[in-house]
Every structure is written in structure tokens, then in C-alpha cells.
Chain A
Amino acid sequence: MMNRTLVVAAHLAFILVGIWGGFQVFDLIAK
């Protein structure tokens, strides 16, 4: 269970990083 929670948490963290990255890249390419 602990292991599964860690896996889910890691994926959620990467989703957040992805969203943040999406905003950053958009700001970079769309002027």
C-alpha cells in the first residue's frame, strides 16, 4: 500500500510539473 501511494504521489507530482512546464513553454514561445 505504501509503495502504491508513493507511485501515485510521484505521478501526481509529475502531472503538476507537466502543467507548470506547459505554462512556462507557452510563455516562451507565444509572444
Chain B
Amino acid sequence: MRRSLAKSIGSLVGIGGVAFSITLLSQSMRAVEAVGGYCASGGPYQIRQSCPSGVAGAFPLAIIGGLVFLGLFVFCASDRGRSVAMLAWSALFLTLAWNFIDYGVKGGSGGGAGFLIPGVLFVLMGAAPLFYVVPNMWKSFLGQDPNQSAAPSPFLRYSGLPSTSAPAPAATPSWPSTSGWGMPSPAASTVTPAASTATVAGTSSSGSDDLASELERLASLHRRGELTDTEYEAAKQRALAHGGTT
């Protein structure tokens, strides 16, 4: 399916705008470092160190502009390309890290080794997501499904199965392949809803009723003290193993 021209242009302008905003922010930060690392402007106060002209306005422009452009990119990018937006985090933090480290090494007015601490911290924060994002982007570029990796990210993994110790149902639906955001895409499901419903109805409709009532009965006995904890656990495991036909 061809994407519309407007979305292609939006995606390009969005990513270019993010680069523009990060550059502007970085340059503004360097300008503040050049006057000693801090400055102020406006207000009815006596200001010790005024900001370089224009810099006070450049900061909000860069931050708000960056977010707007990032939103534009995310909205317009294709499913595959959208994960590139995560690189904005790394770009921002690594750029600012460079400024901190540069300032810390060069020293100058107000600079010093203390600035190496936020520098290193920002390098870690900026670089960490790259270890996950870049390999997946490469796979995506090559046309592979980025979520089929051997070690998927824990926060993108999704388990729709209940966490009981019951044996796996006869027709465990293989989880559908996911799009670039790690969200399930119903269209890609390998089990059609009609088929899975039929399987569930055919195999375990009455069985699950029996199991539920058996578990309720056991819980009630346990609550009344007629079953010890050990007996209750054993009986429950047996009921689950036999699907309520004990």
C-alpha cells in the first residue's frame, strides 16, 4: 500500500525538525556554558549574569518545537519507520552529554570536572536504548519482523494467557505477530476468532464450569478449616490437572 505524499512529506519534515530542534537546543546550551554555565533574563530582578541575546527564547522554541516535530514524525511515519522516533531520545541525550563533557574537559569560566558527572550520566541514558533499538531497526530495514528476535524486550512482550498452573489448553493460540510498536495486530493472527471460539466451546465449555465449581467448593472447605493449607493446595492442583473432573 502506497503511503500518501502528504504523510511522506510530514515524516521528512518531522525528522528534519527534530534534528533542527536538538541542534538549536545544543547551541543554546553551549551559549549558556560560554557565559559561565548559568544565566537569567527578564523579571524585576538584579541579574548577575544575563543570558546571551536570543538564547532565553531559543530554549522553549527548541523544546516545544522538538516535541511538535516528533509528534508530526510519529503521526506520519509508517509502522516500520515509527520506531526511529525512539532515536530522538538518544540524539538528545548524547548531544547534551557531549556539551557537558566538552565543558567539563575544557573548563573555562564556570566549567570544570564536575560537569563530567552529568556528561557520563547522559551518555549512559542516551546510549542504553540504542542496544535494543538499533538491531531491531536494522532487522526492520532488511524486511524482517523486528519482534521475532530471540530475546524480545520485556516491556514489549505481552502475555494474554492466564497465570494459572493449569495445563495448556488444547488450542493455545500462537500470539499474533506484532507491528513496530509491539502491539498485537489482529489482522496478523494465525487463529481466526471463529476457529478459536469453536475450539474453546468444543473442548472445555462444560469442563471449565466443573473446574470453577470444584475450585469454589475446595476454597469453601479451606475457608471453613476442613482442609489444611497443604491438603487444599494438593486438591487444587489435582482439580486443575484433571480439569474439574475429580
- Chain A hits for B120, CB < 8 A: none
Residue of B15, B27, B28, B58 near A14 (CB, 8 A) is B15
Pick the most buried of A10, A25, A26: most chain B CB atoms within 10 A of its CB: A26
A26 and B24 within 8 A (CB): yes
Which residues of chain A (1-31) have a CB below 8 Å from chain B? 1, 4, 7-8, 10-11, 14-19, 21-23, 25-26, 29-31
A14 and B12 within 8 A (CB): yes
B13 closest partner in A (C-beta): A14
Task: Describe B's contact surface by its main secondary structure.
Answer: helix
Chain B min CB distance to A22 (Å) = 3
Q: What is the size, in residues, of chain B's interface with A at 8 Å between Cβ atoms?
A: 27
Residue contacts A-B, CB under 8 angstroms, 30 given? A8-B141, A11-B12, A11-B81, A11-B84, A14-B12, A15-B16, A15-B19, A17-B16, A17-B19, A18-B18, A18-B23, A19-B19, A19-B23, A21-B16, A21-B20, A21-B23, A22-B21, A22-B22, A22-B23, A23-B27, A25-B24, A26-B28, A26-B31, A26-B58, A29-B54, A29-B57, A30-B27, A30-B31, A30-B55, A31-B53
Query: What would 10 more interface pairs be, CB under 8 Å, given A14-B16, A17-B16, A31-B54?
Result: A11-B12, A15-B16, A18-B15, A18-B17, A21-B20, A22-B21, A23-B27, A29-B57, A30-B53, A31-B52
Listed in ascending order, the chain B residues whose CB lies under 8 Å from chain A are 11-13, 15-24, 26-28, 31, 52-55, 57-58, 81, 84, 141, 143
